[in-house]
Amino acid sequence: MSDGDFFHEGRVAELRKAFDQTFVFPPREQEGVYADLLAVDVGGDPYAVPLLGLSGLYSGCRIALVPGPVPELIGVAGIRGSAVPVYGLRQFLGYPDAAPSGWLVVSKESPRAGFSFDGFRAYARVAAADVVPSSEGGGARPYLCSAARIDGVAIPVLDVPILLDEIARKARAASNSK
């Protein structure tokens, strides 16, 4: 056995106790200012997506590839009865193209848009003080305007509204160029 800790005699009792205690104490409300983040994997690197700008997390989605005026557009996915355009975070973050994994986050603001990434890592709730502005806020990628410290590691935070603005700008630029 590779990990002998799982086989000590008190392991099952510990699991049982932790599960039982979940229902023993009353629900605790989060006190203070905090931010809910989704840690995702893009090109092997971790990125955080604020939960406030999202309407949902989905996996196993089928994406129909369609061309569009914005280069980061991959295709269209069906999300709960409506067609949502899907953009690739690889394309936004400068990673080489790859087949879509099926993981999507969908923006809350209308018009809704989906963003494809390579994998879901974890749900994280961090203090607001742990989210700090990034130096790239005014650069080529304005949607990476901040970074969050999760488990002691600082990872860049994608700002979904700025991504949507970037998409709208590129769409307008494309229509103007036509």
Partner 1 sequence: MTQDWTFGRKLGAGFAIIVALSVTIGIVAVYALRGVVESKDRVIDVNGKLLIDAEALQATVEKKVTTARGYLLTREEEFLKRMQKAREDFGSILDRIRGNVYTEEGQRLLEALERFEKDHQETIDRVIAMRRADESMDKIVRFFEEELMPRRDKVSEDIKAFVSLQEEHLKDAKEASTAAASAASTLVGAIAAGIILFAVVIAVFLTRALSRQIGASVGQIQSSSTELQSAANQQASGAKEQATAMREITTTISELLATSRQIAESAQRVAHIATDTARAAQNGEATVGSTHESIDTIRRQVDLIVNHMLNLGKKSQQIGGVLDIVAELAEQTNILAINATIEAAGAGETGKRFAVVADEIRKLADRVAGSTKEIRGLIEDVRAAVNTTVMATESGAKAVDAGAKQFGEVTSNFKHISGLVTTTTEAAREIELSTKQQATAVEQVNVAISNVAQATKETEASSSQTLQTATQLTGLSRDLQRLIEPERANSHPMGHA
Please tell me whether residue 2 binds partner 1 under the rule CB under 8 A.
Answer: yes
Contact 46, 157 (CB under 8 A): no
Stretch that binds partner 1, among 70-78, 116-124, 132-140, 155-163 (CB under 8 A): 116-124
Q: How far is residue 161's CA from residue 22's CA, in Å, rounded to a whole number? A: 36
Q: Is 29 in the site for partner 1 (CB under 8 A)?
A: yes
Those residues whose C-beta lies under 8 Å from the C-beta of residue 132, and which sit 6 or more positions away, are 146, 147, 148, 149
In the complex, the smallest distance separating the C-beta of residue 59 from partner 1, rounded to whole angstroms, is 6
Interaction of residue 98 with partner 1, rule CB under 8 A: no
**Min. distance of Cβ 126 from partner 1 in angstroms?**
14
Asked if 144 and 158 touch (Cβ cutoff 8 Å), the reply is yes
| C-alpha–C-alpha distance, residues 133 and 47, integer Å | 14
What CA–CA distance (Å, rounded) separates 178 from 165?
20
* Residue 82 binds partner 1 (CB under 8 A): no
Which residues make up the interface to partner 1 (CB under 8 A)? Answer: 1-3, 6-7, 15, 18-19, 22, 27-29, 36, 38, 51-52, 54-59, 108, 120, 122-123
